[in-house]
Amino acid sequence: MNTTSCPVCEASVSIPADAMQNELIACADCGSELEIISLSPIQLDLAPDVEEDWGE
């Protein structure tokens, strides 16, 4: 399992072995919702804010 740092709090974030680009993950330290924007190299960014029309 790879690790990288949270773009919000800089804590270490574990990236699952089966992670996919554009997958959402959470930072265990600060709770921020993050998006994996690149797998090679691993890059995280804050996930987009929830918008009014989001849902099922």
Binding site for other proteins (CB under 8 A): 18, 20-24, 35, 47-48, 51-56
Nearer to other proteins, 1 or 20 (CB): 20
What radius of gyration do the chain's Cα atoms show? 11
Q: Which is nearer to other proteins, 4 or 37 (CB)?
A: 37
Q: Which amino acid is at 25?
A: I
Complex with other proteins: residue 30 or 48, whichever CB lies closer:
48
- CA angle, residues 15, 18, 19, in degrees to nearest 5: 50
CB of 4 to other proteins, least distance (A): 17
